[in-house]
Amino acid sequence: MEWVVEKQLVCPSTGTFFALVTSAKNLKLILWYKGSYFIRAGNILNTGYFGISINGRARNIEIIHAFPFNPGLWNTFKSAVCCPGNDALLSCECTRAESCLFKICPYGIRPLE
């Protein structure tokens, strides 16, 4: 099944991600996942017997849970996770690096020194 990624969130305190995805039949899900690949808005996610591929390439991603989309639930996740990249505040430095579990920032933001 093919899904288009509409939005994404990073959760620095757990080292996991959330992605809002939509199918061709307008089915929307919130995926909570972990892995070594950051799914971004506009990516195409395919699922099947082969596993998960993103933009045609197999990726090592573990879906922790899939939630039916609900705007209130998405906003709860968005307000609960504290990452400057989630708000598209792509500054040059991150003030939250000390509490972040990611070794490399998914948004490419450098830690404040």
pLDDT tens by residue, 55-102: 999 999 999 999 999 999 999 999 999 888 888 765 667 878 888 999
pLDDT at site 76: 97
In whole angstroms, what is the distance from residue 17 CA to residue 105 CA? Answer: 12
**Do residues 73 and 30 make contact, with C-beta atoms less than 8 angstroms apart?**
yes
Non-local (6+) Cβ contacts of 92 within 8 A are 109, 110
Q: Where are the domains of the chain?
A: 2-81
Structure tokens at 73: 């639930």
Which pTM was predicted?
Answer: 0.90
CATH topology of domain 2-81: OB fold (Dihydrolipoamide Acetyltransferase, E2P) (2.40.50)
In whole angstroms, what is the distance from residue 67 CA to residue 91 CA? Answer: 31
How many beta carbons lie within 10 A of that of residue 35, not counting itself?
16
Non-local (6+) Cβ contacts of 97 within 8 A are 105, 111, 112
